[in-house]
């Protein structure tokens, strides 16, 4: 079962990478994800450079998939995380590939539902593996926990942005709140989510992605909407400080110390 799961999981990573690549190079529906995002641009959307994080995420997911195959086929070590992850990783990646298709073909409402499905799948992996809640070996931390933390961290931000894009498409005017106030509210929600993940789940890497996204919102608006820009900057600093404090308080289990110990063995 573990061998089957590992192969399917690594193939699902290749699927989502290929679909993303083809959608951009072949311009499905004569457009790209970036162009659609610009069409439904809203104040929560970060500066365009922020999306480069997908390159890091894809590399980490590929490493995660290869590590699963290695553990399943070529190692005698216990690898409970493969069974605990189950098909949820594959489901997340298949949904990710499906999201690309629905988004570039302008099925924005459906893309929101799919994005929520990706987020749910990743949350299941976090819970099933008890991620970041036990003293794992460095290879599990680096090749299992970190890829999922980066993936889920970005998807959580992307979900908020996706919902905002859909509301923009519908022409929603924000009701009693202005667009600026709604954006500030979304920044607050993203900030609180990341603080929760730091202190309740010990997922500092998840929150680091939040810092990246919040700072990119600041960069986008620093010369236009200073109220949003400086709130986003303050939020990114606040989350970063919490990451530092949490890391210091848990320095005895610092993964880099574990790496040094492994190298010395």
Closest CA to 226 of 188, 183, 193, 194: 183
pTM: 0.93
Query: CB–CB of 205/57 below 8 Å?
Result: no
User: Distance between CA 134 and CA 208 in Å, rounded?
Assistant: 20
Q: DSSP H helical segments within the chain, as ranges? A: 2-25, 33-39, 53-74, 80-85, 88-104, 108-128, 138-140, 146-170, 179-201, 204-221, 226-249, 255-264
> Which token pair is 232?
């986003």
Closest CA to 232 of 217, 210, 211, 242: 217
Reported as a single tens digit per residue, the pLDDT across 79-101 is: 888 899 999 999 999 999 999 99
Task: Please provide the distance, in angstroms rounded to a whole number, between the alpha carbons at the two ends of the chain.
Answer: 32
Residue 143 is classified by DSSP as: I
> Which token pair is 147?
């890829």
> Which token pair is 113?
């539902």
Reported as a single tens digit per residue, the pLDDT across 158-217 is: 999 999 999 999 988 878 889 899 999 999 999 999 999 999 999 999 999 999 999 999
- pLDDT the model gives residue 135: 81
pLDDT bin (cut points 50, 70, 90) of residue 263 is low
Reported as a single tens digit per residue, the pLDDT across 14-47 is: 999 999 999 999 999 999 998 998 899 899 999 9
- Predicted confidence (pLDDT) at residue 264 exceeds the cutoff of 70: no
């Amino acid at each position: 079962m573990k061998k089957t799961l590992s192969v399917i999981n690594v193939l699902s990573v290749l699927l989502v990478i290929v679909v993303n690549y083809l959608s951009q190079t072949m311009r499905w529906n004569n457009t790209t994800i970036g162009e659609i995002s610009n069409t439904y641009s809203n104040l929560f959307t970060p500066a365009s450079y922020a999306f480069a994080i997908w390159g890091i995420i894809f590399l980490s997911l590929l490493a995660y998939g290869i590590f699963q195959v290695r553990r399943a086929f070529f190692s005698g070590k216990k690898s409970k995380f493969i069974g605990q992850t189950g098909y949820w990783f594959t489901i997340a990646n298949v949904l990710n590939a499906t999201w690309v298709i629905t988004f570039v073909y302008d099925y924005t409402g459906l893309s929101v539902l799919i994005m929520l499905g990706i987020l749910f799948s990743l949350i299941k992996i976090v819970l099933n593996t008890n991620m970041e809640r036990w003293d794992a070996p460095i290879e599990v931390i680096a090749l299992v926990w970190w890829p999922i933390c980066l993936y889920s961290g970005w998807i959580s931000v992307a979900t908020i942005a996706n919902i905002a894009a859909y509301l923009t498409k519908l022409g929603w005017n924000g009701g009693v709140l202005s667009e600026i106030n709604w954006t500030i509210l979304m920044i607050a929600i993203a900030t609180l989510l990341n603080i929760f993940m730091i202190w309740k789940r010990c997922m500092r890497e998840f929150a680091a992605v939040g810092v990246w996204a919040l700072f990119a919102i600041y960069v986008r608006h620093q010369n236009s909407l200073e109220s949003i820009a400086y709130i986003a900057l303050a939020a990114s600093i606040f989350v970063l400080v919490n990451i530092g404090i949490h890391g210091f308080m848990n320095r005895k289990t610092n993964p880099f110390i574990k790496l040094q110990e492994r190298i010395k063995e």
